[in-house]
Amino acid sequence: MEFADLVPALMGMAGGTLTRAIEVPMKQLDDWWFVHFGSKTELERQKQEFLNQQKLTEFKQEILDQVKQIPPEDITEPNKAILGPTIEASKYYIDDDSLRKMFAKLFASSVDSRLENKTRSAFVEFVKQFSPVDAQLLKIIVQYGNTIPLAQIKIVYTDDSFVINRTNVVAPEISIRLNDNKQIASSIDNLNRLGLISVTYMFYKRIDYKVFESTIPYKETQLSVEQRNKQLSDLLSSEAAQNIRPEVKKELVHEQNARVDIEKGKADLTSLGKDFTQVVL
């Protein structure tokens, strides 16, 4: 029932004298409801229903495609602990292709006896906390043999002390596949938080980490450090340097001639991550 459907009854109560005064606010209520809850003005409602039906058709076909890949002897009664939460959650993510496909595979896994010991209801919550970048990055990690190199970009001072300027930087070829998305570093944090990958800068892969010098985070840090070094050099060589307090001058000298370096690291798929990717990728 629409708010506009109340107009005849309200008109009857008002004696039919306030038709316009009632119709307008009722239509506004319908429009407001559509904006906030997805239903209402007739044209918009029809558009939304058409788009939703398209997505639902695609989603159903994706599920059917996944189920068809299960050998008949391995099809079992649906695991309601997986099926129920998957159906409930998927309707909110149906517009995103990568996440919708994950839900389709979770849906199919509920009737696949081969995945009985791998699928967990928590996997539904994992996908709900994914962004499209998270999904793409996880797929790339699997394609790279369940491990990828990472780097932290450091600013190193003359006494070898340093600060971490950028972290969770991926190799250029991976960044390009992710369209140099600014969410890459936070996606790694999220996958690590969920326990799907482990991140370390104590161990690293046997590759030449100089490739990270061509990454955007490294270049941005390098440019910033060069500009800062020049500013400090100009300041400390000027007459104004005579007026700088000794303790401040000491700190500026410490920062002068800083350089950029790379801290080697890697991200590995965890056991939980392997189970998860086997089910949803």
95, pLDDT greater than 60: yes
Predicted confidence (pLDDT) per residue in 24-43, tens digit: 554 554 555 555 455 545 55
Q: Hey, what are 108's tokens?
A: 């199919």
Comparing 16 with 223, which gets the higher pLDDT?
223
- Phi/psi-derived region of residue 113, left when phi > 0, alpha when psi is between -120 and 50, beta in every other case: alpha
Helix, coil or strand: residue 115: helix
Closest to 187 measured CA to CA, from 137, 143, 153, 146: 137
Categorize the per-residue pLDDT at 14 as very low, low, confident or very high, splitting at 50, 70 and 90: very low
Asked whether the beta carbons of 106 and 130 are under 8 A apart, the reply is no
- Give the residue with greater pLDDT, 50 vs 185: 185
Q: How much of the chain exceeds pLDDT 90, in percent? A: 47
Whether 2 has a pLDDT exceeding 50, the answer reads no
Comparing 269 with 47, the larger pLDDT belongs to: 269
The residue among 94 and 43 whose pLDDT is bigger is: 94
Q: Which pLDDT tens digit goes with each residue over 160-193?
A: 999 999 999 999 999 999 998 899 999 999 999 9
Q: Which of 120-129, 166-175, 228-237, 258-267 has the lowest mean pLDDT?
A: 228-237
DSSP-assigned beta bridge partners for residue 170: 150
Task: Give the chain's mean pLDDT.
Answer: 84
Model pTM score: 0.77
The share of the chain scoring above pLDDT 70, in percent, equals 81
Q: Which domains can be identified in the chain, with CATH numbers?
A: 61-128 (no CATH), 135-280 (3.30.110)
Say which DSSP state 171 is in: P
**Chain centre distance of CA 250:** 43
Cβ atoms of 94 and 128 within 8 Å: the answer is no
Q: Is the pLDDT of residue 55 over 50?
A: yes
